[in-house]
Amino acid sequence: MLRWTVIFLIVAIVAAIFGFTGIAAGASQIAKILFFIFIVLFLLSLIRGNRSV
C-alpha cells in the first residue's frame, strides 16, 4: 500500500510540473488517503502483534 502512495505522489508531482493542476490535486488526495490507511493498518498490526495463545 505504501508503494501505491509513492506512485500517486510521483504522479501528482509530475502533473503539477506540467501544469495539470486538476490531476495533481486528485492524485495527491488519493496519495494522502492511501497513506493514512497505511498508517492505521500499521498501527493496528503493532497493537495486535503476533501473540500466541
Cell readout for 46 is 503493532
Number of domains in the chain: 1
Whole domain around residue 32: which residue ranges?
2-48
Q: What is the pLDDT of residue 33?
A: 92
Q: What is the pTM of this model?
A: 0.76
Cell readout for 23 is 490531476
Q: What is the pLDDT of residue 49?
A: 82
Q: What is the pLDDT of residue 1?
A: 76
Does the residue 53 lie in any domain?
A: no
Does the residue 7 lie in any domain?
A: yes
Q: How far apart are CA 8 and CA 37, in angstroms?
A: 14
Q: What is the pLDDT of residue 29?
A: 93
Tens digit of each residue's pLDDT (9 = 90 or more) over 3-50: 988 898 899 999 999 999 999 999 999 999 999 999 999 999 888 887
